[in-house]
Amino acid sequence: MTSMSAPLLNPSLLAGDHANLAASAQLVADLKLPWLHCDIMDAHFVPNLSFGPETLAALRRAGSTLFFDTHLMLDEPHRYIEPFAKAGANLISIHIEPAYDHAAALARIRALGCQNGIVLNPGTSAAAIEHLLALVDLVLVMTVQPGFGGQPFRRDMLPKLRQIDTWRRERGLNFRLEVDGGIDVATATECRAAGADTFVAGTSFFRAADKPAFAAAFARM
C-alpha cells in the first residue's frame, strides 16, 4: 500500500449505541464498509473504560463479519493479545508509550493470525516508532489524546503523518497509515493530503444524518 491507496472510513464503535452495539455494527455493514474500529480502555493508560473481548465475541456470535480493528489503550497490552485474538479481532494495535517488549508483542499478534499495529499519542514523536515500521501492518497516529470521543482534531499532528508517510515511501513499506480522533470530512481531507489512508470516525459517523452521503465523501477523498 502506498499513500495513494484507497481511503478507508473506519467507524468507531465507541460512539455507537452501547445498549445495542450489534445494531451499530450492522449500520456499518449495511453501508458496505468493511472495517469497524473497537476502542479498548483500561482506566489506567487512559482515564476511561469501554468494553472488552467478550463484547467482540458477542458481536461475532450476533453474526458480524466486519474486520475488527482493535485499538488497545492499555498499560499492559501484551497481556491481552490472546483474549482479543480469540474473541475475533482481525487487527490488534498497541501503544508505544508503555514499557514492554513492543517487537515481541507485534510478532505475537501476527503469530495468532491477526494483523498488527503500533499507535502513538499526540505527545509521542514519530521517531519513537521508526525502528518498528518494517514490522507492522498499520501505524495509528492519534489526532486527540486518547480516552474519549468527541474531542477536537489536533492539526499539529499533520507533520507527524507526513514524516511517517515519507519513511513509508522511501523504504518501500506498505503499512496502513491511520488517524483517530476528531475526524470528519474536513479533517480527514487534511490528513489524506498528509498521507493517511485509514480514517477512524466516531462522533461524526454516528451523528451523520445521511450516512451513505458521509461514506461517499470519504470514498471520493
Which sequence positions are flagged as catalytic?
A: 39, 180
181: alpha, beta or left? (left if phi > 0; alpha if psi -120 to 50): left
Considering the rule CB under 5 A, would residue 71 count as an interface residue with Zn ion?
Answer: yes
| Bridge partners, residue 199, by sequence | 9, 179
Contact predicate 148/111, CB 8 Å: no
- Choose, by CB under 6 A, the member of 200, 215, 217, 221 that binds ligand DX5: 200
Binding characters for ligand DX5, 81-120, by CB under 6 A (x = yes): ----------------------------------------
Shortest separation between residue 200's beta carbon and ligand DX5, angstroms: 5
- Choose, by CB under 5 A, the member of 69, 137, 178, 180 that binds Zn ion: 180
- Choose, by CB under 6 A, the member of 183, 191, 194, 215 that binds ligand DX5: 183
- Longest Cα pair distance anywhere in the chain, in angstroms? 46
Shortest separation between residue 25's beta carbon and ligand DX5, angstroms: 14
Q: Among the candidate windows 31-39, 80-88, 118-126, 163-171, which touches Zn ion by CB under 5 A? A: 31-39
83: alpha, beta or left? (left if phi > 0; alpha if psi -120 to 50): alpha
Contact predicate 93/136, CB 8 Å: no
Cell 503469530 belongs to which residue?
A: 111
- What distance in Å separates the CA atoms of residue 99 and residue 3, rounded to the nearest whole number? 30
Task: Please name the helix (run of DSSP H) or strand (run of DSSP E) that holds residue 109, with its range, or none.
Answer: helix 102-111
Considering the rule CB under 6 A, would residue 11 count as an interface residue with ligand DX5?
Answer: no
Considering the rule CB under 6 A, would residue 71 count as an interface residue with ligand DX5?
Answer: yes
Contact predicate 173/167, CB 8 Å: yes
Q: Which residue is nearest to ligand DX5 (CB)?
A: 202
Nearer to Zn ion, 47 or 212 (CB): 47
Considering the rule CB under 5 A, would residue 178 count as an interface residue with Zn ion?
Answer: no
| Bridge partners, residue 42, by sequence | 49
Q: Among the candidate windows 52-60, 62-70, 95-103, 179-187, which touches ligand DX5 by CB under 6 A? A: 179-187
From the number of C-beta atoms within 10 Å of its C-beta (0-12, 13-18, 19+), residue 205 rates as buried
Q: Among the candidate windows 51-59, 94-102, 188-196, 202-210, which touches ligand DX5 by CB under 6 A? A: 202-210
The contacts of residue 6 (CB under 8 Å, 6+ apart) are 197, 219
Considering the rule CB under 6 A, would residue 121 count as an interface residue with ligand DX5?
Answer: no
State the residues that interact with ligand DX5 by CB under 6 A: 12, 14-15, 37, 39, 71, 144, 146-151, 180-183, 200-204
